[in-house]
Copies of this chain bind each other. A is one copy, B any other.
């Protein structure tokens, strides 16, 4: 939708430097934005792109106003303000409420009249679907699920059973929430399935990425706090707790009963073992596995980066000969005496 700069600045309580009647209809990068596009500047490396921009307006900090050749929207948080304004400008009209003829909604389910149930979606058992919720094409909402207002369940996602979603959550395509945890008891006759009867509780404003899986608790619940962001293809195992505003990049795996603090950030392909605790404000770098409790905020890493295979092979060989090297040093020390 189109907005004037005046409307945007007023709505998000920013200062406008420029013509309040200029209309923006879209968003783009500094380099590509044209006369009806909004953009932002926060990375000093792009200063030349700022100076040459042809955008309708640039969202930036006070200190950068002088370098901007077009209208400015001034804020302390340019990227976040951009995100909010861009969300408004690029918003699509909500789909018409109602249940598509091809969807299957159980007689025992409760669907708000302002919700949309798309083609071939299934709402099962006694599920409750709130106002303005969109259940996408082919998505499944199972028994005992409660989906609060303004959530979007994207196509072919699955809320298996007993999943409580807070308001304004987005479940991306193919994500599976509330599947059974991996509970198996070894017996003399092989593995015996341990029933997984806990639920999943998800706070407000949470996003769960495409094809990510979040298992239900074995006993007691798997809990994801408010504002948490989980990327694609992540695994959140049974009875994990994740604190508010924590973010996990793609392919992160959190094993069973781990407790993750608030405002943590996990980079891609990282993970934790089960039954450990990670405090608030911890950053875990890519492909790092956390195997013990972390009690102090900070950044944690492991592994080493890819290098030429020839160099790597020599480094590994030297590493495997460390015992020999230690022995040689000990002998030198002894001889010296």
Q: What residue of chain B has the Cβ atom nearest to residue A246's Cβ?
A: B191
A233 close to B (CB within 8 Å): yes
Q: Which residues of B contact A100 (CB under 8 A)?
A: 104
A207 close to B (CB within 8 Å): yes
- Known contacts A215-B232, A235-B251; decide if A187 and B77 are in contact (CB<8 Å): yes
A29 close to B (CB within 8 Å): yes
Q: Mark each residue of chain A from 171 to 187: 1 if its CB lies under 8 Å from any CB of chain B, else 0.
A: 01110100110111111
- Known contacts A155-B158, A190-B205, A319-B322; decide if A179 and B210 are in contact (CB<8 Å): yes
Copies in the complex: 3
- Known contacts A80-B185, A80-B192, A174-B174; decide if A269 and B271 are in contact (CB<8 Å): yes
Q: How far is the CB of A210 from chain B (nearest CB, A)?
A: 4
Q: Are A299 and B309 in contact (CB under 8 A)?
A: yes
**Chain A positions 120-175 with a Cβ under 8 Å from a chain B Cβ:** 120, 122, 124, 136-138, 140, 142, 154-156, 158, 160, 170, 172-174
Q: What residue of chain B has the Cβ atom nearest to residue A283's Cβ?
A: B309
Q: Are A320 and B329 in contact (CB under 8 A)?
A: no
**Most chain B CB within a 10 A radius of its CB, from A158, A215, A244:** A158
- Known contacts A87-B193, A232-B182; decide if A289 and B309 are in contact (CB<8 Å): no
Q: Are A316 and B289 in contact (CB under 8 A)?
A: no
Q: What residue of chain B has the Cβ atom nearest to residue A305's Cβ?
A: B291
Q: Which residues of B contact A322 (CB under 8 A)?
A: 315, 318-319, 322, 325
A66 close to B (CB within 8 Å): no
A11 close to B (CB within 8 Å): no
Q: What residue of chain B has the Cβ atom nearest to residue A245's Cβ?
A: B190
- Known contacts A138-B156, A174-B158, A191-B247; decide if A329 and B323 are in contact (CB<8 Å): no
Q: Which residues of B contact A195 (CB under 8 A)?
A: 27, 83, 86-87, 90
Q: Residues on A close to B: CB < 8 A?
A: 26-29, 32, 77, 79-80, 82-84, 86-87, 90, 100, 102, 104, 118-120, 122, 124, 136-138, 140, 142, 154-156, 158, 160, 170, 172-174, 176, 179-180, 182-188, 190-195, 197, 205, 207, 209-211, 213, 215, 219-220, 226-227, 229, 231-233, 235, 237, 244-245, 247, 249-251, 253, 255, 267-271, 273, 284-292, 298-309, 312-316, 318-323, 325-326, 328-329, 332-333, 335-336
A-B contact pairs, 17 of them (CB 8 A): A77-B188, A79-B185, A80-B185, A83-B185, A86-B195, A120-B138, A138-B156, A173-B176, A191-B205, A191-B227, A211-B233, A213-B233, A251-B251, A270-B306, A273-B286, A302-B304, A304-B316
Known pairs A138-B156, A287-B287. 12 more at Cβ < 8 A? Answer: A82-B185, A82-B194, A83-B184, A86-B194, A100-B104, A184-B247, A191-B205, A191-B245, A191-B247, A273-B286, A319-B322, A329-B329
